[in-house]
Structure 1
């Protein structure tokens, strides 16, 4: 097996694809012919998002922890506060698994082009949504794309969508620390991204991957606004009694947050009505305000706001 050279010129270098260290790399031709220098679209994205006050990435290193569910209900929560009338946007960059349209109750809608750019779909007067799900012919169609095409669509969502004036823009991301995440950090570099909310569940099999997500944030210089623990126990919708479903054998999200020196925002119990609300595209906190999970969601929203303001 050929050893990978230790010193590579980098994709933005004039020597990319031409240096001796590039010999044998499968991407040599691509690097040699790609445009060099700063990406001009980064400035376009900065200008487009200038009217968005706060930009937050919602990350999870593990699939199945409820990242999209959490993003959707978080978006509903501040948008539902009547005293504040906050304008909220959700951009779904989970290209291969776009579940945000269903979670937000706008499945089957289509994107429209206007003079000012793509128009987001509105789940409510103050809740805008953009997803690849709006571009598919059928909701069950598979998105079989390689990295460059996915990254190109993410860039379009940021620079070509007319988001207007927003208080919050939440970015729902797929699991992992791959192309989509690196592209987001790069594209939002000059737009003033506020940081990341990291979602996990209590069991160690999830925490092990979420630790990688926290390390990713550290390496790319992305501030961690806090860790939120999802499915922390089960709440019976009838008796309101709670029981543990996913044991926190290693101390759960709170201990992990302490290890990394990042804020722990709170825990949301597993309530079957959350899944029902997502299937029907409803705001769980509005429909079931008496649920302990609704109280937990709103507490996390408040804790997240407090962390954002500490800049």
Structure 2
């Protein structure tokens, strides 16, 4: 088999494809987001290219397979999962990323917070991690999927938002924003109520599920019910290959910092989820500006007397 054939191994996998390969700067974010849902052999390839982009860019598909103890097919499949048509495209991105690192433009890796870190250092580390999560999410967000989700929300008869724990807090934030521009929205915290609400959804309604892991049963179940009843479904998740994606018409991927004993993933994933929520809200407000602007003004005016001058 020729090198060209090896580096474009196999047919394009079924399902929606990314509109364009992610930019070089998004590669590390893609690896952090997608690696947990990969097979162990694919994880070795992903970690190798993210950890040593310059060295990996110098290798053929066969060379990288040998370095990671995997197969050529695994290397190409990993490239596809990361958003590149083939290994050749991934090599180009790796070379560009290596150039960015050499120029000092690539983000530094933030260390985990230790139990004996001074509070000032904790503040600095948290701020850097939050900024990195936001940058990673923005770099990896599929704007075509975002546009489609905004379009569905802007014309929705009703919006249901499902989330548990920290994700429910994010869902409440989205609902509050949508209500203030005149959209009918709910975010039931009770998982049983979420399912019974989902039963009432139909075509023209929208259901939004928020789950970092992509496998939270109490979020998957109402989204599945909404999907089966014809509603447009949106998933905001850090695991786009997770079970939640089976019932989502549109998937919006978030990123999070590395998990540690003192910093569970839910903390940083919430930051990324809030960014996506803000993107959705601004997009909907733009689409419905003639009604959204007066509604916002009215809500501010209604509460003005409750704030001290």
Same topology, TM > 0.5: no
User: Higher relative CO (CA 8 A, sep ≥ 6), structure 1 or 2?
Assistant: 1
Q: Which is richer in strand? A: 1
TM-score of the superposition, structure 1-length normalised?
A: 0.29
Q: Which is richer in helix? A: 2
